[in-house]
Amino acid sequence: MTKQEFVALYQEKMEITTKKEAERLVNGFFSTIEEVLVNGDDLSVLGFGKFETTTQSARTCRNPKTGEEIKVPEKKVVKFRVGKGLAEKVAK
């Protein structure tokens, strides 16, 4: 599903009159999640899941084509752990 398809579905579900307003609300929702994660905080939604930032440690990898060792520096990554309620609904 694309973002535009999601906006259209959201507009229909929430009975929003204009697509522009639905898109504004969806964009606001995603930018708020982004802001929370950029600040290093976690976001837990009961029954849905948890967005969290973790630090991936530095490591040495290999270029599969050349076999050359490459050092990958430490970096922050976002992880999502699905909640029990959502997992059960998807499994049906």
Q: How does the average pLDDT of the chain come out, rounded?
A: 96
pLDDT band at 28 (very low <50, low <70, confident <90, very high): very high
Domain count, the chain: 1
pLDDT of residue 71: 95
Task: Provide the whole-model pTM.
Answer: 0.78
Q: How far, in Å, are 27, 44, 53 from residue 41 at the CA level?
A: 20, 10, 7
Q: Domain limits at 83?
A: 3-91
pLDDT tens digits along 62-80: 999 999 999 999 999 999 9
Q: Read off the CATH number of the domain in which 51 is found.
A: 4.10.520.10
